[in-house]
Amino acid sequence: MDGYSKTLAYTATAGITLYFGVSKYLENSKVKLVMASDGDKTVRSLIEEHCPSLTDSAKAYLVPSPLLCTGTLQTIYCSGIALKRDGLSNIKYERELREMSDGGTVSIDWYPGRSSSDGSSDAESTQPIAIVIPGLGGSSYEYHIRSLAKHLAESSRSKIRVAAINHRGSGRTPLTSSKLYNAYDTSDLHEIVEYISESFPKSRIVCIGFSMGANILTRYMGEKGDQSKIAAATVISCPFDMLITGRALSTPGFLNDRLFQPSLMATLRRVLERNIDMIKTSEVGYDIDAVLKAKRVSDVDDLITAKAYGFSDCWEYYKAASSSSSVDAIRRPFLAINAADDPITLIEGVPVDKFKQNPNTALAIVRHGGHIGFFSGINPRIWFIQPVAEFFDAVLADNA
């Protein structure tokens, strides 16, 4: 074989290898959908007909950004750009403070504003509303929430108004009672949904939760069942099994000891230190010195959350707070999105079989995405925003 023939053969071999390599990579990047197969008007039919980013073979995949090819990198990047502002996220909220029945305060950040964009009164407005629930230590100011709010309000077919809530003491919300938020207690969400549904009786409500906020939302949807005033819900990186998530975060190691725990504890410590006088008023009787010296989230949960709700320790609290069992009772369209490489919400904690059995639910699993990351493209963009918008638009258009 002469030199030209050898070169041609090597080039052909390299081309074929690259082709099959890229094909295999794209195949592994496809969205894996888990849904029940029975019934006529099910979430399956809704997604198959109206959510191409989850079902269309040409669109239903997440190829991670080249420099964010692992779940850990995706997670770190998501945290690192939390306060980033660009054309996709640069919005200004209108804030409303809402007092809860126990005297605590939850803030609602509205975008584009609390009033309907068409100028109609609260009682007559039909513009749909999306309630957004941040995770532990998160707030409405995070990049992924601002980006989602802008897209839903400006680019979705339904032009959905956004009500991003900030938990007690978070997102510059004053702590006006000694009660702190947690993954177990859904009472604040119950009150917020009631308030918004009563204020805007003709507006349909959808809801999305992230991480711990996703767990709260899943529990809420199970508790309310077919009485839920939320027309559809989506959860991102939901820790369905809090025991597994708790162990993943508590296991000693470089990532937990140097990255995840310090980041979460820095946010929690600011909330605790800023509101320590109010926390001291609790009748529970917290060991304040120990709380302020806590180095891990599980320590705070041991010293505050477990004690406040009568659990023996954080592990009993995590078991009780888990939302896995709630999936069975969900009776409204419900979409969960999780990444197989999430280093915090491990995939083994996701109740895959429950999604196969409940026709009101669907689970989308992508191979790469980390914890609330899901960045794709050379210039990283948040992948889940499009399927969330498609899902909400489909529900809102159905029997609107």
Active site residue 65: no
> What tokens appear for 355 in the block?
């999604």
CB of 94 closer than 8 Å to CB of 113:
yes
Active site residue 326: no
Q: Please choose, from the candidates 141, 271, 138, the residue with its C-alpha nearest in 3D space to the C-alpha of residue 214.
A: 138
Kindly give the residue spans of alpha helices, DSSP state H, lying in the chain: 3-28, 43-50, 52-55, 71-80, 143-154, 187-199, 212-224, 242-250, 254-255, 261-274, 276-280, 288-293, 297-300, 306-308, 314-321, 352-357, 385-397
Q: Cα dist. 303→71, 215, 334, 393 in Å?
A: 31, 21, 34, 43
> Pick the catalytic residue: 125, 177, 211, 228?
211
Active site residue 371: yes
> What tokens appear for 189 in the block?
């969400």
Q: Which helix (H) or strand (E) element contains residue 99?
A: strand 94-99
Burial class (CB in 10 A: 0-12, 13-18, 19+), 340: middle
The rounded distance, in Å, linking the Cα atoms of 360 and 146 is 28
In total, the chain counts a number of residues equal to 400
Question: Which residue type, as a one-letter code, is found at position 220?
Answer: Y
Long-range contacts of the stretch 191-197 (C-beta < 8 A, 24+): 191/98, 191/100, 191/101, 191/106, 192/98, 192/106, 192/108, 192/131, 192/163, 192/165, 193/131, 193/220, 193/229, 193/230, 194/229, 195/98, 196/129, 196/131, 196/163, 197/229
CB of 36 closer than 8 Å to CB of 330:
no
Could you give the angle at which helices 385-397 and 43-50 cross, rounded to 10 degrees? 110
For residue 396, the tally of other CB atoms under 10 A from its CB is 20
> Pick the catalytic residue: 342, 368, 376, 393?
342
**Across-strand partners of 61?**
30
Q: In degrees, to the nearest 5, what angle opens at C-alpha 115 toward C-alphas 114 and 119?
A: 165
The rounded distance, in Å, linking the Cα atoms of 231 and 395 is 7
> What tokens appear for 336 in the block?
């969960």
> What tokens appear for 62 in the block?
């997440």
Active-site residues, by number, are 211, 342, 371
